[in-house]
């Protein structure tokens, strides 16, 4: 291997060593365990993620104005709840 090719590979190897490992937990026996699916924030539009078992979830879309598996389907006739920001003219 030439000196030039080694100098080009070194930054890539260093980068690979510095990257965090993938999000997989190991049990005591060294068997991969699934990561909590709610960690990836699958529920949109202020939906709440509820975990079931090790690798299942369901989004609670109550009072968001959205429905569907990930709270992404806009419900007809309902407006999502929006609160005034502090400092705005509508804020008491």
Give residue limits of the domains in the chain. Answer: 20-74
Question: Which has more confidence, 54 or 21?
Answer: 54
Contacts 24+ apart (CB under 8 A), 41-47: 42/70, 43/70, 43/71, 44/70, 44/71, 44/72, 45/71, 45/72, 45/80, 46/71, 46/80, 46/81, 47/71
What DSSP element (H or E) covers 48?
Answer: strand 48-52
> Tens of pLDDT along 16-38?
566 555 555 555 666 666 788 89
Residues 64, 35: Cα–Cα separation, whole Å: 27
The yes or no reply on domain 20-74 and CATH 3.40.50.2000 is no
Nearest residue to 36 via CA among 23, 21, 55, 52? 55
> What is the pTM (predicted TM-score) of this model?
0.50
Q: What is the pLDDT of residue 83?
A: 66
């Amino acid at each position: 291997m030439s000196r030039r090719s080694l100098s080009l590979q070194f930054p890539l190897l260093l980068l690979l060593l510095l990257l965090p490992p993938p999000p997989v937990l190991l049990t005591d026996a060294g068997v991969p365990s699934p990561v909590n699916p709610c960690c990836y924030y699958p529920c949109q539009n202020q939906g709440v993620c509820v975990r079931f078992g090790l690798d299942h979830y369901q989004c609670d879309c109550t009072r968001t104005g959205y429905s569907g598996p990930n709270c992404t389907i806009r419900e007809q006739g309902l407006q999502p709840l929006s609160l005034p920001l502090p400092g705005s003219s509508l804020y008491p």
